[in-house]
Structure 1
Amino acid sequence: MDADIVVDAALARHVLRHQHPDLDGPLTLATSGWDNAIFRLGSSLAVRLPRRAVAASLVRNEQRWLPLLAPSLPVPVPVPVRVGVPMEAYPYHWSVTPWLDGTVVAAGPVGPRAALAQRLAGFFNALHVPAPAEAPANPVRGVPLSGRSAAMAERFATGRVPLSLRPLWDELVAVPGWAGPPVWVHGDPHPGNLLAAPDGSLAAVLDFGDLTAGDPATDLAAAWLVFDAPARALFRAALGPRVDEDTWQRARGWALNIGAALVADASGTPEMAAVGAHALAQASESALPRSDNG
């Protein structure tokens, strides 16, 4: 994918040697996504370097807030252990984090993901607490679902998102909005940001670049992004009574929104396009609740 700056192992080694010379060891590229390149450093560390200017500001959100949030979360998250600052050879802020072991959930089949349901629900229950006024703002996550209608119209117009989903989107946008206080929201709850342990349970949650405050329904879109119907039922049961029906249906709308974004992105990876297609299929199969007169 095109990026604002080419980030390779030579550049990663250069910035490490200039800013954290005590950190040494084999340095290998683990992944290079839309926003960041991630290198494994030795056996226990990761170096995360933004490839785009917009991602550099997201890294700073992680650097500020993850150390405060992590102690209350029930699974590991990539809390920065060192921070990097702009320099002549590299213009962005960057981080060194622990290397978190596990298998990326998006790389595996959907059925066994039921083993993730209870722990992922516990993670969101722990995260979704009232956030301070200075929490990062995010115009596309945690906001009223209606605010994504223009973007959805553009995605339908690509021809890659089935027009048959438009009536469902219109129904879900009409669901009453979040009436509670803004809560912490991860913001990007797809299976590419989840790691599974060898027994299939949740090992870690990654990539807090979209961290914000607002409607928790954004995160609960994981019910359709990650799971099939049986696992989704386990996930919802584990969330408990704090998630009412309106929040659940807005979450379904967020699954449509995120899934459509992944499907409509012609420059995305096949793996993420498959995540999007899965979400659209799952969300379209879930029935809306019937009214008392229905």
Structure 2
Amino acid sequence: MGSSNQWDAEWEVSEELANKLISNQFPQLASKSVQKLGHGWDNTVYLVGTEYVFRFPRRKVAINSLRMEGKILPKLKDYCSIAYSIPLFFGVGDYGYPAPFLGYPYLSGEFPIGLTDKQRALSARTLAIFLKSLHAFPVQIAQKNGVQHDHRNLTDIAMRKEKMHKFLSDIALHFSEEEYRALSNYLEQLRTEKVKRKYTFLHGDLHFKNMLVDEKGKVSGIIDWGDINIGHPACDLNVVYSFLPPDARTNFFKVYGEVDEETKILARLIAVYIPILIMMQAIDHNDERLIDEAKANINRALSD
């Protein structure tokens, strides 16, 4: 896929550098181990001892997002029915590292990879209560704290559809002929080009790499709030299609409340679009486990 991808790091944070930054600025943590947990598009993540997680931006675009997390996450206590980490440690760049960084309490759990439909259905009500409450966070407060409006222009379905057509060649070999045809047919039959804008406070990047589940497979934690924004609720509601099996979706909307058809169309599109991006990065990194899970998310989103 070439050497210049939108998920490539602009700077790396090694274990040695993370240790120096943390121990120098937070001496009370100096005796604790520092172990890399992984990285996403925007941040490298380290486990400190067994109690804390630190996130270090790996791209310039992530700096403002991290700062926004530091301002907004403490204000969400009364609006989050699922555990999430409130920042406790606010670090600044040093030793040549140019970005701020944050430390949070560690949330136990695993990523929801390889779950059965029965396990996924356990979270229908949990996710509905969570999103109904989160989406009630006052937009005025978000705006006063600098939260931006739909910075990715997600309501423009035509643009998203065009991008997806270009991505298909990068992922085609990882689908069966039947799966690939279903995805292609979905895009060809998608006639809606744009949906009406809505103004709701959003997590902004809700997918299986930003969710944690307990030993039963039930959602127990929500992480990585770097894409907080004000926009269309379909952005978060994509999990109704990517995460929940078809027979659990009615139960979700009974609790969350019914939404209009445009919202469902956009939510399903995003439920396909986000896993495609995750899949492309996983292919670039030869991560078969993530490739398979992303593909399963896409297939689930296309199922009625």
Question: How high is the TM-score relative to the length of structure 2?
Answer: 0.82
For residues 93-117 of structure 1, the C-alpha deviation after alignment (integer angstroms, 9 at most, x for no partner) is: 1100010111221254443121111
Matched, 1:51 2:58: yes
How far is 1:179 from its partner?
A: 5.0
Q: Secondary structure at the match of 2:123?
A: helix
Cα distance, 1:135–1:33 mapped onto 2, change above 3 Å: closer
Deviation at 1:252, TM superposition (A): 0.9
Residue 249 of structure 1 aligns to a residue whose secondary structure is helix
Residue 102 of structure 2 is aligned with which of 95, 108, 133?
Answer: 95
- Work out the CA distance in 1 between the residues paired with 2:211 and 2:88: 20
Aligned to 1:22: 28
Name 2:112's counterpart in structure 1: 105
> How many Å separate the matches in 2 of 1:142 and 1:88?
38
- Give CA-to-partner distance per residue, 1:69-107, whole Å, 9 cap, x none: 233211121221111112233111110001011122125
Give the structure 1 partner of residue 219 of structure 2. 202
Q: What is the distance in 1 between the residues matched to 2:193 and 2:8?
A: 38
2:24 corresponds to which letter in structure 1?
Answer: H
What's the Cα RMSD here? 2.6
Q: Distance in 2 between matches of 1:44 and 1:86?
A: 22
Q: Distance in 1 between matches of 2:207 and 2:219?
A: 13
Is 2:218 aligned against 1:218? no
Number of residue pairs the alignment of both structures matches = 284
Q: CA contact under 8 A between 1:63 and 1:80: conserved in structure 2?
A: yes
Separation of aligned partners in 2, 1:159 and 1:101: 32
Identity of aligned residues (%): 26
Does residue 61 of structure 1 match 2:68?
yes
Q: 1:148: which partner in 2?
A: 160
* CA distance in 2 between partners of 1:88 and 1:212 (Å): 32
Aligned partners of 2:200 and 2:48: how far apart in 1? 34
Matched ranges for 1:225-244 at <5 A = 225-241=242-258, 243-244=259-260
- Residue 114 of structure 1 corresponds to 121
1:131 has 2:139 as partner: yes
Instruction: Give the letter for the 2:105 counterpart.
Output: P
Report Cα offsets for 1:204-246 as digits up to 9, x if no partner: 10111111111010111112221222233332333223x2333
Contact 2:81 2:129 in 1 (8 A): yes
* Letter of the structure 1 residue corresponding to residue 303 of structure 2: E
Hey, what's the Cα distance between the residues in 1 that align with 2:34 and 2:105? Answer: 14
1:10 aligns with 2:16: yes
Verify the 8 A CA contact 2:113 2:208 in the aligned structure 1: yes
- 2:4 is aligned to none
CA deviation profile, 1:147-206 (whole Å, cap 9, x unmatched)? 4233223213436283653453355451762454x1112122212211112344321101
Indicate how the Cα distance of structure 1 residues 36 and 144 shifts in structure 2: closer, same or farther if over 3 A, else same.
same
Structure 2 gaps of 5+ residues are 1-6
In the alignment, which residue of structure 2 is the partner of 1:278?
Answer: 296
Structure 1 residues 173 and 256 mapped into 2: Cα distance closer, same or farther (>3 Å)? farther
Residues in 2 aligned to 1:164 and 1:76: alpha-carbon distance in whole angstroms: 36
Asked whether the 8 Å contact 1:55–1:209 carries over to 2, the reply is yes
Secondary structure at 1:177 match in 2: coil
Question: Is the Cα–Cα contact under 8 Å of residues 41 and 47 in structure 1 kept in the other structure?
Answer: yes
Q: What one-letter code is carried by the residue in structure 2 that aligns with 1:169?
A: L
| Structure 2 residue 41 is matched with structure 1 residue 34 | yes
The reply to whether residue 158 of structure 1 matches residue 170 of structure 2 is yes
Moved more, 169-178 or 6-15: 169-178
Distance 2:98 2:197 in 1: 40
Change (3 A) 1:275 1:232: farther
Q: Which amino acid aligns with 2:89?
A: R
Further displaced range: 273-282 or 90-99: 273-282
* In 2, Cα distance between equivalents of 1:146 and 1:117: 30
- Measure the CA separation in 2 of the matches of 1:60 and 1:196: 27
Q: What does residue 255 of structure 1 align with?
A: 271
| SS of 1:203 mapped into structure 2 | strand
Structure 1 residues 141 and 224: alpha-carbon distance in aligned structure 2, compared to 1, 3 A threshold: farther
**Counterpart-to-counterpart distance in 1, 2:60 and 2:254:** 40
Distance 1:238 1:202 in 2: 16
